[in-house]
Structure 1
C-alpha cells in the first residue's frame, strides 16, 4: 500500500503572484526542472520580476492588476 501524497496548492493572490505550496515540480520552457530552495514559493505573474520565475514584489511598483479593465 502506498503512502498518501502531500497536497500541492496554487493560490493566485489578487494583483500579485501565484503562491505554490507543497512538493510541486516546476519545469522551465526547455523541460528542465527548476530548483526550489523552499517548500512555498511565489511565482511572478506580472512579467516584471528581476528574478523570474520568482516574484520580487515588482508588481506593486508596476501597477499590475489581475482584474478586468473596469477594476
Structure 2
C-alpha cells in the first residue's frame, strides 16, 4: 500500500534498478529530463501526476485504486 510520494519514489527506484537502468537511461527512454526521475524518486510531492503515471507505465507498473476495507470498531 502506497500512502506518500516518497513511497511511490521508492517503488520507482527499486523497479528502475531491477531493470538495470540508470536515472538518465529512464529519462532518455521517457523523453524527459533527468530531474523528473530524480524528483519522483526523492518523493517530491509536487511532481505532476500524469508525469508520474507515464514513468510508472515505462517501468511496466500500474496503479490500482480501490475502496478501503471496512474496519471493525474497537
Larger relative contact order (CA 8 Å, sep ≥ 6): 2
Higher helix residue share = 2
State if a TM-score over 0.5 links the two structures: no
Higher strand residue share = 1
TM-score under structure 1 normalisation?
0.28
